[in-house]
Chain A
Amino acid sequence: MIRVRQVSHRLGGRLVLDGVDVDLAEQRIGVVGANGSGKSTFARLLNGLVVPDRGSVTLDDLDTRRDGAAVRRRVGFVFTDPDAQIVMPTAAEDVALSLRRRPLSADERAARVADALHRVGLDGFDDRPSHLLSGGEKQLLALASVLVAEPEVLVCDEPTTLLDLRNTRRVLQILLGLPQRLVMVTHDLGTLDDFDRVLVFESGRVVVDAPPREALAAYRALVG
């Protein structure tokens, strides 16, 4: 379980998280809120990309402040813009990069890379130049590069914001079919119907924490 305890955090002098206190144990958790409400910073807390000024974030007995590397091995992160996430020139090489510190044989590595590409529907993309893929394919590649490390929890920060409708559906279908626990920040409220729980952020606070129907109704009322 991820425990976020009394977390406050400032960015550039502005208070972006203010006393956030939640436990995250459900399989599918959605996070919504206006731009600047603190939801992306909250997402980054969960795998230690952001260490809070005050309070703590723990995954089981690991603290992101003390055990950031260990937390990141168990909590994968998918960004909005896959171009910021892809490093290597071909798809297979980029996926394999996530395994660089793992003691695997070349055959094991190749098998895990092929499996990760298969899971996101990118079979046969191994040698495709990664920067020439379409936006949707890049996001799927970014997802494969995270999944190959077999995280227990997947945190996604608006993973479909830059995608068209077809690719949005494709990415969501894959995300919702994963065995991993999922925490997804999104503006696409319609994608959260099947989630277990939705957190609504406003001015750095969790103002609603409820099942999707109730939380989204409250959010819609909040924004008018």
Chain B
Amino acid sequence: MMTRPALEQPGLYQPGSSVLHRLPAGVKLITLAVLLTVLVVAASPAGVAAGVAGTVAGYALSGVGVRVAVAQVWPLRWFALVLLAVQWWLAGPQQAVVTVGSLVVAVALAGLVTVTTRVSAMLAAFTTAVTPLRRMGVDPERVALLLALGIRAVPLVAGLAAEVRQAHRARGLPLDPRTYGVPLVVRSLRRADSLGEAMAARGLDD
């Protein structure tokens, strides 16, 4: 089976030395939160246009390339088209453009942060942010590890789902929710067990 090249996968860190790559993860995450808030509060065609311009400039500054930039929003295409049609019909063309434009800009900006920031840097920023909660019994490093596992689970479960789909095709079975869901859940749980055991072996639960 053909697999997509790494550079086209959304959300994957792309090594680089641009200004955006060198900015601390915490600064990028706070800036992202502020920009998204402004985008939602402004909710205007001018705001969306400014957002698009700023996002394009950000990607240009990052030097990750057009393919990587497009890959961040490509999975949204069908959803965005349906949303555009529904909004156009219900609220008119301006609202449709503002809603869909804001969504695409938000996803693209979030993608810009993830492609220029190592997950470990984001987790370190998160750990710093929740450190004050240590007094309430929260272990920031353990919570960060939990987040890392959540991130790891996405490609793992996607891989398992692809294997189950292939097994169906190989046996000529139709895609039935029961015969698809049960093996996927069972395999995911077994994989979770294995991952837990491996983490214990690496001393990550000590």
Contact = CB atoms under 8 A, between A and B. Distances in A.
Interface residues of A, number: 33
Contacts of A100: 141, 145, 204
Contacts of B12: 89, 129
Contacts, number: 90
Given A85-B202, A87-B199, A146-B202, A79 B194 contact: yes
Interface of B: 3, 6, 9, 12-13, 15, 118-120, 141, 145, 148-149, 151-152, 155-156, 159, 191, 194-195, 197-204, 206
B119 A90 contact: yes
Could you say which of A77, A98, A126 has the most chain B C-beta atoms within 10 Å of its C-beta? Answer: A77
25 contacts: A49-B197, A68-B206, A72-B201, A72-B202, A72-B203, A77-B201, A79-B197, A81-B194, A84-B191, A85-B198, A85-B201, A87-B204, A88-B119, A88-B120, A88-B148, A89-B152, A96-B120, A97-B204, A98-B203, A101-B206, A128-B6, A131-B152, A131-B156, A132-B3, A149-B203
Interface of A: 47, 49, 68-69, 72-73, 76-77, 79, 81, 83-90, 93, 96-98, 100-101, 126-129, 131-132, 145-146, 149
Contact of B151 (A89, A127, A145, A149): A89
B206 A69 contact: yes
B166 to A, nearest CB: 16
Nearest to A89: B119
Shortest 3 CB-CB contacts between residues of A and residues of B? A84-B194, A69-B206, A77-B201
